Structure 1
């Protein structure tokens, strides 16, 4: 899409109010495929409880939902799923897989013909989504969406919908989303070591070194990390931002402006090499966790929650939840936002955003697609949002002065201290922060920057030759190369230059040419 179109996204997102409220924040799980007939397919769900009573005589419509990382969801005993089942007269079954294997598992479902009724995936331009849509695996829902999803349409701009059309058809509903990602630092450790909040990468280096060496947790053991990361390096993105880089080099298919009106690969942004050199220094000086390249997402969280990391990846809306989790192991923990770290040239950029995250698609074999759309729209209603954000009044929260106050102990009991996992399907793009903490006003003020972007100019476009190039280069080609450079013993700058040359020759230049042709055609 053109830049002008995505300016509209920013305007619309700016109009969304920021809500200060109490944050709540294996394998493949098999189930019935949800092909139950239902005579009320054309009835639209309302947001009141009266709908449930009207449907009591009807057999609940059973359908399956696939989404990665839901391995701990038990649909038979989940408080929120059971409540949704009751209110909407449905029976939801969960299909899932760990983050590290979900693509493989989902591909097996597709090729076997056992397509989930509702799939939450990365959407157009990724995986084989466009081919699956053209093959009729997903249902074309443009007219149904316009008729049955009024709550979603309040938050989802026409430009984002247009960006997801494939040959004029809509094969999935994107979740409107602003990434509130940021970084937090152990403020209690800074105080103990008599150090100031770092402002530059040089400051960060000295602080992290002290966190590693000077026993900031006071247990007389050498067991604290300066910095830990998962294998994608997304969790230390502040380093790349300080070199003017909009996203870490985990792959080469994030298309960013080249400064001359065209698009280029994210790995060709001018500051990437210097950022890798800096990360290499952190690793070789043993300030960065020496096992970062083996650390997956859950293992990273485990390390962070152990209370042994000085800087962690979090969000403006989830920092206080992160702090609460760490306090279970280190009661003295106090976090503070570490934002705007600048590099040697004084640069700082925020990570680039798409304006959406993940896409919900309905199988063409689903017997009641309208009922599934009504479920999706319910999640974006005031009633549905309140349910997945806070839980059930009298159980996980109470109302005080007209605002929800969460019982954190009960919320943790039901696994919704950061909200229910269904918020990962659809949820209004608002920032939710515990309102009784004195740091909330500052966090809310800081989070306003999220509405300014920057936004990717063409988030759903991908070159025609992408699959061919990925096959030639091999899986995780970029990520593996970055790992080898950082953990190797050669000059990282020289090795990066060699890698870029190889990437260009093995299809990179062809991809850049094709993405710009698409970009021009879609302006």
Structure 2
């Protein structure tokens, strides 16, 4: 088995999984050899030859590793776990690293050997394709094709599932649409500065200037706020640019396929240098939070709630309600305008949907697919649990008052957040507005707030679907170091003020040009072999 370069950094495509796979055949729990995607040995747990529904054995225990999109300890994960076990009769073990460190911890876990791998994990973007290419994921194609959910007539997300197939095979299942980020602007700040919502980059930049140099929060002090903040100048996963779309515009820092079907690295194109220039100028002017390079998403949210800045590009839909609720709980005006994309951006990008994947060391992958993943969309008690949580913990139908709003007996409502007191829950793991299966009994339809519907509508009407980038041996070998170098180059230009010419000379001298071209060649070779 090949040993590939391990990169335990959030920007890595395959993370530490590649090194872990070097000795997995002798220690995998399933006893199956773990090889590249599509090349697994002949066993039902490695080829995707799923058993018939009535032959699937119910697991005694399932271990999952998840990020904070699943119920956290602060939100009474114990109650969630207990209810799940009551519904299934299966012991559930949840491993949940800190959200911002999730992919680092996941990579370290895979590096420690298949005997330590969980049964199921959450993956997104390049991480999904990378782990699949390295043979770390079970091929669930036939399990899905033979599933009760697919034949139920309730499933509406065939396009979402098809978009996640790698060379025609499915290694991870998306339980919702991918969604994406929309730019929110505080309306009161616009009003205080005598501005309207921007429609072009010049208007957008003028708004950032006013929010930074004027008195948008109305406290009588000029210059004690700034325009925007973001969790880094580049994202930790595809589509990479979703937190700063107005600066990237048509530029892209990673690999993409042109209309001619030829792959290229957007980082090497002139329009990416233009994007760096825009970010550097805005950062130097103070329009962008000086801590952007090291921010996590929670850091940005807290600063937004504290009224330190006025423009925040973040997730559409229920997050509009979360932002509004937290602004109100901090005593600030909460009316937000979800902007349509400015002219130079054109459309927002809907990310490829996060997936639930089953590791290739799982002893009973068919059972995990049926009882963990497929059951999330059962249109009944399990979907209720994954969408809204536990009755009388996260939601209730009892007569009670929640945050000054009175509810009648029998009226479905979400309760006050345990993790963020003073705010009300909007959902749990599954977002009902991103559903890919009809659910006639959804009791929360009426509970979706107008601001969430509005933000989701703005996004849905102004977005394009991202496509996954396939992984290759060259991608797995070089892209971890390449993305680390790209991140360093971006930081040098934007934060340190390094000239763009000098930065790209370092990109070449440090191996970036060579790595980039090697990956591009491998992608185009794979494309031509289809």
Normalised by the shorter chain, which TM-score bucket?
A: 0.7 to 0.9
Following the alignment from structure 1 to structure 2, what is the Cα–Cα distance between the partners of residues 429 and 213? 48
2:250 corresponding residue in structure 1: 244
1:265 corresponding residue in structure 2: 265
C-alpha distance 159-201 of structure 1, shift in aligned 2 (>3 A): closer
Question: Secondary structure of 1:517's partner?
Answer: helix
Report the CA distance between 1:310 and its aligned residue.
0.5
C-alpha distance 374-280 of structure 1, shift in aligned 2 (>3 A): same
Which of 479, 489, 504 is equivalent to 1:481?
489
Which of 469, 474, 486 is equivalent to 1:465?
474
Question: Secondary structure of 2:231's partner?
Answer: coil
2:193 aligned with 1:193: yes
Question: Secondary structure of 1:172's partner?
Answer: coil
1:329 corresponding residue in structure 2: 330
Following the alignment from structure 2 to structure 1, what is the Cα–Cα distance between the partners of residues 134 and 80? 31
Question: Secondary structure of 2:91's partner?
Answer: strand
Report the CA distance between 1:289 and its aligned residue.
1.0
Contact in 1 for aligned 2:320/2:451 (Cα 8 Å): no
Q: Structure 1: give runs of 5+ residues left out of the alignment.
A: 1-33, 36-40, 46-57
2:428 corresponding residue in structure 1: 420
Following the alignment from structure 1 to structure 2, what is the Cα–Cα distance between the partners of residues 375 and 423? 17
Report the CA distance between 1:515 and its aligned residue.
0.8
Following the alignment from structure 1 to structure 2, what is the Cα–Cα distance between the partners of residues 173 and 207? 41
2:122 corresponding residue in structure 1: 120
Following the alignment from structure 1 to structure 2, what is the Cα–Cα distance between the partners of residues 124 and 292? 23
User: Which structure is higher in RCO with an 8 Å CA cutoff and minimum separation 6?
Assistant: 1
1:445-474 Cα distance to aligned partner (Å, 9 max, x none): 424325x62432xx1412331233246x46
Contact in 2 for aligned 1:144/1:370 (Cα 8 Å): no
1:338-382 Cα distance to aligned partner (Å, 9 max, x none): 22223xxxx323244454223421453434741542221121222
Report the CA distance between 1:419 and its aligned residue.
1.7
2:383 aligned with 1:385: yes
1:22 corresponding residue in structure 2: none
C-alpha distance 44-387 of structure 1, shift in aligned 2 (>3 A): farther
Q: Structure 2: give runs of 5+ residues left out of the alignment.
A: 1-28, 31-50, 235-240, 399-406, 439-443
1:79 corresponding residue in structure 2: 79
C-alpha distance 151-377 of structure 1, shift in aligned 2 (>3 A): farther
Question: Secondary structure of 1:476's partner?
Answer: helix
TM-score (ref. length: structure 1): 0.73
Which of 346, 349, 352 is equivalent to 1:349?
346
**Farther-moved stretch of structure 1 (63-72 vs 296-305):** 63-72
Following the alignment from structure 1 to structure 2, what is the Cα–Cα distance between the partners of residues 369 and 416? 37
Report the CA distance between 1:485 and its aligned residue.
0.8
Following the alignment from structure 2 to structure 1, what is the Cα–Cα distance between the partners of residues 66 and 453? 34
State the number of aligned residues.
Answer: 451
Contact in 2 for aligned 1:225/1:289 (Cα 8 Å): yes
Question: Secondary structure of 2:87's partner?
Answer: helix
Following the alignment from structure 1 to structure 2, what is the Cα–Cα distance between the partners of residues 77 and 159? 29
2:227 corresponding residue in structure 1: 226
Q: How does 1:506-517 map to 2 (within 5 A)?
A: 506-517=514-525
C-alpha distance 328-104 of structure 1, shift in aligned 2 (>3 A): same
1:449 corresponding residue in structure 2: 461
C-alpha distance 44-141 of structure 1, shift in aligned 2 (>3 A): same
Following the alignment from structure 1 to structure 2, what is the Cα–Cα distance between the partners of residues 433 and 280? 44
C-alpha distance 381-223 of structure 1, shift in aligned 2 (>3 A): farther
Following the alignment from structure 1 to structure 2, what is the Cα–Cα distance between the partners of residues 239 and 488? 21
Cα RMSD of the aligned pairs, angstroms, is 4.1
Question: Secondary structure of 1:78's partner?
Answer: helix
Following the alignment from structure 2 to structure 1, what is the Cα–Cα distance between the partners of residues 193 and 303? 22
Following the alignment from structure 1 to structure 2, what is the Cα–Cα distance between the partners of residues 496 and 521? 35
Following the alignment from structure 1 to structure 2, what is the Cα–Cα distance between the partners of residues 119 and 161? 20
**Farther-moved stretch of structure 1 (314-323 vs 68-77):** 68-77
2:34 corresponding residue in structure 1: none
Following the alignment from structure 1 to structure 2, what is the Cα–Cα distance between the partners of residues 67 and 441? 27
1:406 corresponding residue in structure 2: 413
